[in-house]
Amino acid sequence: MRQIVLDTETTGLSAADGDRIIEIGCVELDQRKPTGRNLHLYVNPERDSHEEALKVHGISNDFLQDKPKFAAIAQELADYLRGAELIIHNAPFDVGFLNKEFERLGMPSVKQLVGNVIDSLAMAKDLFPGKRNSLDALCDRLEVDNSGRTLHGALLDAELLADVYVNMTRGQDALLIEVGDSPSGEAGQTLRIDLSSFDLPVLKANDSELAAHDRVLGELNKACEQGSVWERTQSQKTDQTQAIIKG
C-alpha cells in the first residue's frame, strides 16, 4: 500500500481565521519502507506569520517572499497525494489547513483525494494512555533519533513521524516483511512467508518480568477511567471461577 507521511508548517493556528500554509513535507512509504520519492514545498502565504508561530518553525516572512503561492503548487500536491493513505500527527489540524487551501481554488477536499487518513496522535493516545504523545516524546519512547530537530520543519518532522509510525505499528506482521530480502514474485508482488511450519520455543517470563508486567498493567488501569480492558476481563474470569467453585 502506498502511504504518505505528511506535515505542514503554518502562519498560525487557525485556518478559519485566515492563517495559511507555508511549508509542506511528505515522505512516501511503499510496503512500510521509504521510497525516496518525497515532496517538499515552501509556499508564499501572502501574509505574515504570527510571532508565536515564528518561534516554532523559524521560517521568516522575508524567506517566503519569492516562494510560489499555493495556487501554483496545488495541482502538483493533489496529484502526489491522490489515492494514497495519509499518516499525519494531529491530522485534523493539517487536513483543516489543506482543505481550506483547496477550497479557495475550488479543488476537491483531502477526503476526496486520498484513500484514508490515519491520525498518529490518536493512535499514540490509545497505545500510551496517560503519557505525553508529542512527536518528540514518541521519538524518545520508540528510540527514533531526533537530535537534529531544534525547530519544527515539515520535511524533517515527516521523516521522524515515518520512523515513529513504523515502530509504533510494528507487530507480528513485521516477520513477514523482514525475513531475508523480502523476495518478490510475479509482477513485483512481495511473497508472504508461511511461519506456521516453524517450531518456535516458548519462553516463560521470569519473576522480575512478571513484576514489570504487573506494574505496566497497574499504570494502564489508573489511566483508564473505567479501568483497563485487561483488568475488567480478569475480574470477570475470577468471578466466573468463584461461581463454578461455589456451584
Q: For this structure, is 152 an active site residue? A: yes
Q: How far apart are CA 105 and CA 185, in angstroms?
A: 43
> β-strand 39-42 against 85-88: which pairing, if any?
unpaired
Measured CA to CA, the distance from residue 3 to residue 80 in angstroms comes to 11
**Residue 214 burial (C-beta neighbours within 10 Å; 0-12, 13-18, 19+):** exposed
Query: Count of alpha carbons within 13 Å of 53, Cβ hemisphere only?
Result: 19
> Smallest Cα–Cα separation from 27: which of 137, 132, 120?
120
Catalytic pick from 40, 50, 152, 213?
A: 152
Rounded to whole angstroms, the Cα distance separating 9 from 60 reads 12
- Which positions are annotated as active-site residues? 152
